[in-house]
Amino acid sequence: MSEILLKAENLTKEFPAGKKKKVHAVSDVSIEIRKGETLGLVGESGCGKSTLGRLLIGLTRPDSGRIWFHGKDVTGLWDGKAPQERRLLQLIFQDPYASLDPRMHVRDLIAEPLRTWKLCRGKEELTQRVLGLMEDVGIPGEYLFRYPHQFSGGQRQRIGIARALAASPELIVCDEPVSALDVPVQNQILNLLADLQEEKGLTYLFISHDLSVVRHISDRVCIMFLGTLCEMGETEEVYRSPLHPYTRFLLNAILLPDPRHRHDDAQLLTGEIPSAVDVPSGCRFHTRCPYATEVCREAPPAMKKYGGRSVACPPSLA
């Protein structure tokens, strides 16, 4: 069993939605990330994936719950009490167009974390570190003083990756880093992330709604629905024999390139995802689940171990 790098228990986050209503973004979520692995986090848009990632690295403060990093309780890092741990937790943003300041050239964009954490002595060392990071992600050194609008989408995402690497992190939350890119560029970025992980011993939380991409890059996968976790386990096991009904519906929705293999006999998910403001009682998936019983409508299910997996629905029900 690999060392647990980051662990969270019972994380909850709600946002005000006016007139005494709340958006239930993350509800009582517990998760573990092992050192050196890539943990995929999958779910429909609006299920709370990005919010969970931001909670784990301290960009958003949880309403309740605890977080441990290397066994140390770092829930207080939002108050500036754990600066070293915060440096070791970084984020690659989803949108390479919006995440880079258009008024800053590449040198300053990548150098910003180095300055913030005082990791260089003098301008010469700073420039050399920036050039080294640009080389690591495949950006030519002669582009040092170019601005973001002078780069393609894939190049901008490489700059974002270099910026995340600048602080020498141990864990990087990759928040849908390839969703805004063309397929060939997606492959390049995924291969780059894999190479950097092997070279620098990085750990990733890889957030995506693309199940094919997650299968390609992840060691384990975690399925999320409307702020709660449904299933977590080794990627190939989950894809080969999903236990939770929602996981099964997601996998049935994967588009297959071979027309001889279609999902004609597979049951596809129907209906709309419930509102995160007015969430269903009990299991939040029960309004769309053909296997739901009265118990599902009354009490929210807890994640339980079934073999090597954690599932929030007894396999006998599904």
Q: For position 198, which CATH number holds?
A: 3.40.50.300
- Residue 224 domain-assigned? yes
Between CA 157 and CA 100 the distance in angstroms is 9
Between CA 53 and CA 60 the distance in angstroms is 9
| Residue 201 β-bridge partners | none
- Residue 251 domain-assigned? yes
pTM of the entire structure? 0.93
Number of domains, the chain: 1
Residue numbers of the domain that contains 251: 4-88+169-311
CA-based nearest residue to 202, from 2, 38, 75: 38
What is the mean predicted confidence (pLDDT) over 116-133?
94
Q: With 60 as the cut, is the pLDDT of residue 263 above it?
A: no
Q: With 80 as the cut, is the pLDDT of residue 83 above it?
A: no
- Residue 19 domain-assigned? yes
- Residue 138 domain-assigned? no
Q: Which two tokens stand for residue 250?
A: 């997601």
What is the mean predicted confidence (pLDDT) over 223-235?
96
- Residue 116 domain-assigned? no
Q: Which two tokens stand for residue 132?
A: 């080294």
- Residue 121 domain-assigned? no
- Residue 153 domain-assigned? no
In this prediction, residue 188 has a pLDDT band, given cuts at 50, 70 and 90, of: very high
- Residue 54 domain-assigned? yes
